[in-house]
A and B are shown apart, each in its own frame.
Chain A
Amino acid sequence: MNKTIIKSDALNEQYYSFTHESGLEILLYPMEGFSSSYALFGTKYGSIDSTFKTQHDTEFTTVPEGIAHFLEHKLFESEGGPEFDAFNLFAKTGASANAFTSFDKTCYLFSTTENFEESLKILLEFVQSPYFTDKTVEKEQGIIGQEIKMYEDMADNHVFYKMLEMMYEVNPVRINIAGTVESISKIDADLLYKCYNTFYNLNNMVIAITGNFDVDTALKIIESNLKTKEKIVITRGEVNEKPEVVSHRYEEKFQVSLPQFCFGYKEKPVAEKDLVKTNILYNIILDSVVGKSSELYKKLYDEGHINSDFGKDVFCGPNYMTNIFSGESRTSDVVMKRINDALQETKKTGISEEAFTRLKKAAYGHSIVNYNDVEEVAVNLLSSHFLGINGFGILDAISSATLEEVNSLLRSSFNEDYISISVLNPL
């Protein structure tokens, strides 16, 4: 395989990238002196991928909500029985293993300070060895049903998803990653295999390894343990989402101590390769208008409209882009009005050179901090690759950001007709 070396002068670090003939991308980032090695094997398949077809299909398939997450759970099971389940095998090496499903990807990981080679073999083997039967699917429905109920009791999770439902009409990002008790009851072994065979094709996957390991050893193990199949070309269903929101407001009574709110601006989605840069530019805007160093934040805080729970976020991915504000407040309408007023005003005046320079410096500092951490580096490598940029791309995007770009994005965003808010009030 051809090796590409990607370097960062700012960090004085580098990593290695290989593309296997199967299409699998292999990203190896040794970090000298660390005790742990961290391996992340991921597929570009998440809860938003509910409609798809391959080059062999004439029609699109739509699958039940929550199936990507369901599949993640099932993959740990082995045809050989509980003794060969992935968690059991990792227990023998001492590695700490886990997995997660998000809106746009599913990843399987381990972290270990010993027995790296054995752990890597286990990871490669179990992710490439699906085994689903209707009996094992039924058992998992019980466990995941309880997981769903646990999330239903979480106020911050609930208020966020309700906001997404108000904002998006057809975009699958509005769907809870775990699905519902009802939707997962429609999942069967055949559907799981359909999803697996489509998305868990090496052509759609990445493995990223960071920390304490030898590059040549890791590469050899990966090459010897890949089950190469025909490359699958995936066509993901088009999302025809109108710019307008479904509804501006949702309210519900909930077991919370204080009202919780979540409101957002529905923005125009951008191409995947532009996501990282756009995320940085929006964060500068949000920090400038209502970050801790803004006059507005201090006023809202001192007047008791927000507390230290207040947060803002750029929530974005393939086909969705939202600027979100959330927190606890007895006066969430005041918070929303004052933030909106400030955004509309700033659209006219623009963000100042001083604020931009200061916030760009802070963004640079925050991104350097992420390279302290074997886990953060691995997740960054994998996520960046899925978005078409390299593992240092975020540093480059920050350096190249200009005030003109920030103000141009500001002027074309934050349309007050495209706001949705959800509020949970105490019982």
Chain B
Amino acid sequence: MEKSTLSRVNIGDGISFSSVVDQRFKTNRISINFVTPLNKDTVSANAILPSILKKGHKGCDNFTEFNRLLENLYGARIESYIQKIGDLQIISLAITCIDDKFALENEQLSKKAAEILCNIALNPVLEDGVFRKQDVDVEKVSLIDAIDAEINEKRIYAVNNLIKLMCENEPYGIPKYGYKEQVELLDGAKIKCAYDKLVSTARVEIMFTGCGNPKLAEDVFKSIFNETSRNYSDISNSTIHKKNSDISKLERLAVNQSKLVLGFCNELPSNSNEISATKLMVACLGGTTSSKLFLNVREKMSLCYYCAARYDRFKGIMIIDSGVENDKIDIAKKAIIEQLDAIKTGDITDEDIKNSRLSLVNTLNSVYDYDSSIESWYMGQIISGTDTSPAKEASTFESITKNEIIEAAKRFSLDSTYILTGNEE
């Protein structure tokens, strides 16, 4: 049997429970993920939900007491986060706890962990039927701070601004935490409304990864969802980005190092073979330390400290981001585009392709070694409606030819440029 295979069952209308049981791990990780279309009207209220929900649940509504409960569960960890995958917003809560076999007094840790996650997600703390004012007020400030804090991580800030520029008129261009102005208008009732809508209509994906018995967790969730009314309809797939005609934006801040981010577009939907060829092409271009961008733009020309390419298969977009000296932006942009052009004209060796393939296969085979990467992998598969294991994906690269890589490169053209640079002297 292949390693770490996914088992998936339907436990309600648009609700699935997936599990990967693996005795190598010493923990059990369970996550509940509400998958919903990115929408300007709902994004902000959805974004605030995880931080409010993770503070406790009905019957354990004091944050301090709730954390003491987690500490007594051998330091079980709760995570809450928002993801953006294609045109979808995913609102997630997760718990990780050591397995029962490591409990020092035979406690039933995994069942308890599942109950806690289920309760914080589906039995929230309410007051008069809405979220408590004190929780809402604090988390509104926190979310606004998080939206503003994007600027603190300049590399991420620059990439996010490229996406906003490139996909301005698409859901993908909506920031995953929403908008400050919208957050300011939220209150306990509005958030409760958003929560009810999410629980009723979102696609729900529950993931279990660990060494324990997933049936315990499955039964806990099945039982609570039996009591939950649903109004689910299928969620559409993400749409491929439509090309802009080479737009650009320059922003000035007090920075020592400039950020140059280029967005390339592959306008037409790709079949699975073309997607594999694109992934391999992107690896050759800028996915490894033997890629064209690393060897030429960084090492030979010393233009960038980092210069990397990545591909978003949901949107058909490739992003190349780099950290460059303030006075070398134009030269760096030219050099980066030259590397892509080189592949388009066939300037790529069999050795380059072989090395990139090896690197991709290594990365894919490593997915099995971490519970978080197993979960992340299979969530991506579920969202795209595919059922490919990391090993199977690795095998698709074996048959990709040099011509297919060249054709993959030719499908990309420059769409948008974002530059973050220092203030004028």
Tell me the A residues contacting B by CB distance below 8 Å.
10-11, 31-36, 82, 87-88, 90-97, 111-114, 139, 142-143, 146-147, 149-150, 152-156, 211, 254-258, 260, 291-295, 297-298, 301-302, 304, 307-309, 328, 358-359, 361-366, 368-369, 371-374, 427
Which of A92, A149, A363 has the most chain B CB atoms closer than 10 A to its own CB? Answer: A149
Report the nearest B residue to A156, measured CB to CB: B152
Interface-facing stretch out of B82-90, B114-122, B141-149, B272-280:
B141-149
Is B323's CB within 8 Å of the partner chain A? yes
B26 and A369 contact, CB distance less than 8 A: yes
Interface-facing stretch out of B37-45, B61-69, B191-199, B313-321:
B61-69
Known: A33-B22, A92-B355. 8 other contacts (CB 8 A): A31-B24, A113-B361, A150-B257, A255-B151, A308-B142, A362-B70, A362-B75, A364-B75
B67 and A292 contact, CB distance less than 8 A: yes
Report the nearest B residue to A146, measured CB to CB: B305
A76 to chain B, nearest CB (A): 9
Report the nearest A residue to B69, measured CB to CB: A293
A144 to chain B, nearest CB (A): 8
Q: Which chain B positions have C-beta within 8 A of A362?
A: 70-72, 74-75
- The range of chain B's interface size is 35 or more
Q: Give CA–CA (A308, B96) in the complex, Å.
A: 19
Question: Could you list some 16 contacts between A and B, CB below 8 A?
Answer: A36-B366, A91-B358, A94-B361, A96-B363, A96-B366, A147-B305, A255-B255, A256-B152, A257-B149, A257-B150, A257-B152, A298-B64, A307-B141, A361-B71, A369-B96, A427-B254
B362 and A304 contact, CB distance less than 8 A: no
B359 and A96 contact, CB distance less than 8 A: yes
Q: A96-B359, A156-B152, A258-B148 are in contact. Are A143 and B25 (CB under 8 A)?
A: no
A36 and B359 contact, CB distance less than 8 A: no
Q: Which chain B positions have C-beta within 8 A of A139?
A: 302
B298 and A359 contact, CB distance less than 8 A: no
A33 and B359 contact, CB distance less than 8 A: no
Is B299's CB within 8 Å of the partner chain A? yes
B360 to chain A, nearest CB (A): 8
B281 to chain A, nearest CB (A): 16
Q: Which chain A positions have C-beta within 8 A of B256?
A: 149-150, 152-153
Q: Give CA–CA (A308, B138) in the complex, Å.
A: 11
B50 to chain A, nearest CB (A): 11
Q: How many Cβ-Cβ contacts under 8 Å join chain A to chain B? A: 186
B359 and A94 contact, CB distance less than 8 A: yes
Q: A94-B359, A113-B365 are in contact. Are A143 and B152 (CB under 8 A)?
A: no
Q: A11-B26, A257-B148, A308-B51 are in contact. Are A369 and B98 (CB under 8 A)?
A: yes
Q: Give CA–CA (A147, B23) in the complex, Å.
A: 41
Interface string of B234-261 (1 = CB under 8 A from A): 0000000000000000000111110000
Q: Which chain B positions have C-beta within 8 A of A328?
A: 145, 149
A93 and B358 contact, CB distance less than 8 A: yes
B365 and A36 contact, CB distance less than 8 A: yes
| Contact among B3, B74, B253 with A364 in the assembled complex (CB-CB below 8 Å) | B74
Q: Give CA–CA (A255, B150) in the complex, Å.
A: 11
Q: Give CA–CA (A298, B298) in the complex, Å.
A: 47
B305 and A258 contact, CB distance less than 8 A: no
Q: Give CA–CA (A96, B367) in the complex, Å.
A: 13
Report the nearest A residue to B258, measured CB to CB: A149
Q: Which chain A positions have C-beta within 8 A of B168?
A: none
Q: Give CA–CA (A359, B71) in the complex, Å.
A: 6
Report the nearest A residue to B305, measured CB to CB: A146
Q: A114-B361, A365-B98, A372-B26 are in contact. Are A143 and B298 (CB under 8 A)?
A: yes
Query: Which B297-341 residues sit within 8 Å CB-CB of chain A?
Result: 298-299, 302, 304-306, 323-325
